[in-house]
A and B are shown apart, each in its own frame.
Chain A
Amino acid sequence: MDMQVTVLLALSAAVGVVVLETRQMKSFPVVAGLALGLFAVAMLVVGATEVGVGGLLAGAVLVLVLRWGVSRTSARDEVPAFSGGAAALRAAVTLVAFIVVVFLAASNAAGPASVESAEHLSGGAVSLVREALVVGAAAAAVWAMLRKTGRRDE
């Protein structure tokens, strides 16, 4: 089972790279949704049903939002790929440093904790209230940002 999950997550990462490198924005939303879908399936396989379902829902919403976004902007990613310069160098160094640190941390990690959870609990529907709060805040933020103009003097 571990093997399946590892493969699924690796696939998700690979699709993620494809999404980031694509120049065709028309397919961007769907392929992005695919990356999220692979992640969600991986979570379902590993037994994290809440996260898996949540991932599927988030993926669906994101695909819709991205389609809207792409339709309001350009259909091709005209932006040049690499610009060079000091900022890019810093970014590349940060990325490499991150990867190194993670590998070091992972090799020291003792794997999943053998610690007994002090919270002997099973799933609760109330946790959905929390998620609803977060989604509600995001919805309000989007609602506010979609208005025509910001200031009266425009």
Chain B
Amino acid sequence: MSALLPALIIVPLAAALLVALSSRSSARVVDVLGNLGTFVVLGLAVALAVPVLAGSVASWSLGDASPLGISLTVDALSVLMLLVISVDSVAASVYSIAYMEEYTSKAKYYVLFLLMVAGMNMVVLGADLVNMYVGIEVAALSCYALVAYGLGKEYLEASFRYQVLGTVGTLCLVAGIGLLYGRVGTVSFARLAASGVSTVAGIGVPAILILSGLALKAAFMPYHAWLPDAHSTAPSPVSAMLSGVFVKVVGVYGLFRLLFVVFVPGGVLATALLVIAALSILAGAFLALAQMDMKRLLAYHTISQMGYVLLGLAIGTPLALVGALFHLVNHALFKELFFLGAGSVERQAGTRDIGKLGGLNSRMPVTGVTSAIGFFSISGCPPFNGFWSKLIIIVAAVQAGHVGLGVVGAVGAILTVASFLKYEKGVFFGALPEALQNVKESPASMWVPMVVLAVACLALGLAFPWVIEYLLEPAVSAIMIGA
């Protein structure tokens, strides 16, 4: 089983290489190779998940022991993240078959996409901060190029700004990791968890640096400036991956790993996290409400929903952590669904402006229905998945004595419903404008992934006790090792 660990990184890398070598072949070959890569990764992730969720652990290393060599280790949290990454990347890569036809050189796209997947897998499998960081770098570099993929003015501009801000974030993170090492003598997660690091003097500065770096990567307030531009100008499957997976893997995951180790709930740093979470929930939702561009609205929303995840994380009780992880998974599903849907609308109708759209339910029924399911999920409507995750987080907040934060969560939820009502009404309901009379539904390779995601939203909502017991609680136990 431990061979699965390097495989999860080597397979996407190998697939990327194969695609690069076939860049002169037909688009069919490139599509097949690219998607083969993501499907195999999904298979590997599932194969790994079964034993790990049942309780086994595994590790693998190349060269010297951590962290100078490449050291990978897997537990329930890693495997949960792997599942999220691989499900979302399969959805996006299948969607890309048709969507990326309008861009040049699909081969280069798939190469970057697979590199991003390899990097993200390395992040969640890394046994120490250094290996995690290398994964972040690889994924980020691919992302910068993917955001600029259209090579138009806005994309390049958004990408450059993202590169600058993203690198400042990674440098903060590196500085924090280096200083932390200087203080405590280790960067391995296992050793950090075992050693009661949070009581070491002088740990505040590295902790703040690490927090700032990760928060920038996750686009929490007030580090969110790059996100709306990057997510809205990138090609839609890339935006879906960015909002659905990337900000979680390279941002929030690190915080989960360091919870109880460096960030102790109840302490000063955790309080800072709570403030950031509350700000993100409210400001993200408010700003989303004002947007007329479909993708910008969705992008601002990501900031808000990630605030919920952070809220659960910072409260730190087992219930709060279950809620946080559940929301992370749910958001990965419905946000991906929304971005793919927005991409479909833009491709078929030619615009992303909510003011110019309307009544698309009649012309794009599948996109409309799946989008509606996404709406119910994100609005926290039973029996969909979003209802349970938001409820759990709010209840956990109140239970832990943070009634004010519970209220923030509820207000955020109301704002969320408001902006998505605007989204749904403006795009799918109402009158169909003259210009859009001839719009047709997108091709099957684009709506099939959306249907699968929508079904998943419903399934996770209906089966939530099973989800909590078998998927989330093992991950929470893995996080609480450091407690």
Contact of A149 among B63, B115, B151, B183 (CB under 8 A): B151
Whether A126 contacts B108 in the complex (CB less than 8 A), given A115-B184, A145-B151, comes out as: no
A119–B142 CB distance below 8 A: no
Does B456 belong to the interface (CB within 8 Å)? no
Q: Which residues of A contact B142 (CB under 8 A)?
A: 137, 140-141
A-B residue pairs in contact (CB < 8 Å), sample of 12: A123-B68, A124-B68, A126-B69, A129-B62, A130-B134, A133-B122, A133-B134, A141-B112, A145-B151, A147-B108, A151-B151, A152-B102
Contact of B185 among A116, A137, A154 (CB under 8 A): A116
In the assembled complex, the Cα of A126 lies from the Cα of B69 at a distance in Å of 5
In the complex, chain B residues 332-350 whose Cβ is within 8 Å of any chain A Cβ? none
Q: How far is the CB of B9 from chain A (nearest CB, A)?
A: 9
Nearest residue, chain A, Cβ from B145: A141
Nearest residue, chain B, Cβ from A102: B205
A119–B148 CB distance below 8 A: no
Nearest residue, chain B, Cβ from A145: B145
| Contact string against A for B residues 372-394, beta-carbon threshold 8 Å, 1 for contact and 0 otherwise | 00000000000000000000000
A118–B191 CB distance below 8 A: yes
Nearest residue, chain A, Cβ from B9: A133
B63–A126 CB distance below 8 A: yes
In the complex, chain A residues 109-126 whose Cβ is within 8 Å of any chain B Cβ? 109-110, 112-113, 115-119, 121-126
Does A134 belong to the interface (CB within 8 Å)? yes
Contact of B148 among A113, A123, A125, A145 (CB under 8 A): A145
Does A144 belong to the interface (CB within 8 Å)? yes
Q: How far is the CB of B374 from chain A (nearest CB, A)?
A: 27
B103–A150 CB distance below 8 A: yes
Does A127 belong to the interface (CB within 8 Å)? yes
In the assembled complex, the Cα of A131 lies from the Cα of B144 at a distance in Å of 18
A124–B69 CB distance below 8 A: yes
Does A105 belong to the interface (CB within 8 Å)? yes
Can you name 10 extra interface pairs (CB under 8 A) apart from A119-B67, A144-B105, A147-B104?
A123-B68, A126-B70, A129-B63, A130-B134, A136-B138, A137-B137, A140-B108, A140-B115, A141-B142, A151-B104
Question: Which size bracket describes the interface of B in this complex?
Answer: 35 or more
A150–B119 CB distance below 8 A: no
In the assembled complex, the Cα of A109 lies from the Cα of B64 at a distance in Å of 31
A151–B103 CB distance below 8 A: yes
Does B109 belong to the interface (CB within 8 Å)? yes
Does A143 belong to the interface (CB within 8 Å)? yes
Does A153 belong to the interface (CB within 8 Å)? yes
Does B149 belong to the interface (CB within 8 Å)? yes
Whether A134 contacts B63 in the complex (CB less than 8 A), given A118-B185, A144-B149, A151-B103, comes out as: no
A interface residues, Cβ below 8 angstroms from B: 105, 108-110, 112-113, 115-119, 121-127, 129-130, 133-134, 136-138, 140-145, 147-154
| Contact string against A for B residues 66-102, beta-carbon threshold 8 Å, 1 for contact and 0 otherwise | 1111100000000000000000000000000000011
Q: How far is the CB of B471 from chain A (nearest CB, A)?
A: 30
In the assembled complex, the Cα of A110 lies from the Cα of B182 at a distance in Å of 11
A150–B70 CB distance below 8 A: no
In the assembled complex, the Cα of A148 lies from the Cα of B202 at a distance in Å of 51
Q: How far is the CB of A114 from chain B (nearest CB, A)?
A: 10
A-B CB proximity, top 7 nearest: A126-B63, A150-B151, A141-B145, A124-B64, A118-B186, A144-B108, A137-B141
Contact of A119 among B66, B70, B134, B183 (CB under 8 A): B66
In the assembled complex, the Cα of A127 lies from the Cα of B141 at a distance in Å of 19
Does B188 belong to the interface (CB within 8 Å)? yes
B interface residues, Cβ below 8 angstroms from A: 16, 20, 62-70, 101-105, 108-109, 111-112, 115, 119, 122, 131, 134, 137-138, 141-142, 144-145, 148-152, 155, 182-188, 191, 202, 205
Contact of A113 among B64, B70, B185, B188 (CB under 8 A): B185
Q: Which residues of A contact B101 (CB under 8 A)?
A: 152
Whether A150 contacts B64 in the complex (CB less than 8 A), given A116-B185, A126-B70, A137-B138, comes out as: no
B112–A140 CB distance below 8 A: yes
In the assembled complex, the Cα of A112 lies from the Cα of B178 at a distance in Å of 11
Nearest residue, chain A, Cβ from B143: A141
A151–B16 CB distance below 8 A: no
Contact of A141 among B66, B141, B202 (CB under 8 A): B141
Contact of B145 among A109, A136, A144 (CB under 8 A): A144
Q: How far is the CB of A135 from chain B (nearest CB, A)?
A: 9
Nearest residue, chain B, Cβ from A131: B134
Nearest residue, chain A, Cβ from B105: A147
In the assembled complex, the Cα of A134 lies from the Cα of B167 at a distance in Å of 14
B102–A153 CB distance below 8 A: yes
B105–A126 CB distance below 8 A: no
Q: Which residues of B contact A109 (CB under 8 A)?
A: 202, 205
Q: How far is the CB of B26 from chain A (nearest CB, A)?
A: 16
Contact of B144 among A108, A129, A141, A149 (CB under 8 A): A141
In the assembled complex, the Cα of A129 lies from the Cα of B134 at a distance in Å of 11
In the assembled complex, the Cα of A93 lies from the Cα of B16 at a distance in Å of 44
Q: Which residues of A contact B69 (CB under 8 A)?
A: 124, 126-127
Q: Which residues of A contact B148 (CB under 8 A)?
A: 145, 150
Nearest residue, chain B, Cβ from A104: B205
A134–B103 CB distance below 8 A: no
B149–A150 CB distance below 8 A: yes
In the assembled complex, the Cα of A152 lies from the Cα of B151 at a distance in Å of 11
Q: How far is the CB of B62 from chain A (nearest CB, A)?
A: 6
Q: Which residues of A contact B70 (CB under 8 A)?
A: 126, 129-130
Q: Which residues of B contact A138 (CB under 8 A)?
A: 141
Whether A125 contacts B63 in the complex (CB less than 8 A), given A133-B134, A150-B104, comes out as: yes
Q: How far is the CB of B234 from chain A (nearest CB, A)?
A: 12
B68–A147 CB distance below 8 A: no
Whether A149 contacts B185 in the complex (CB less than 8 A), given A123-B68, A126-B68, A144-B109, comes out as: no
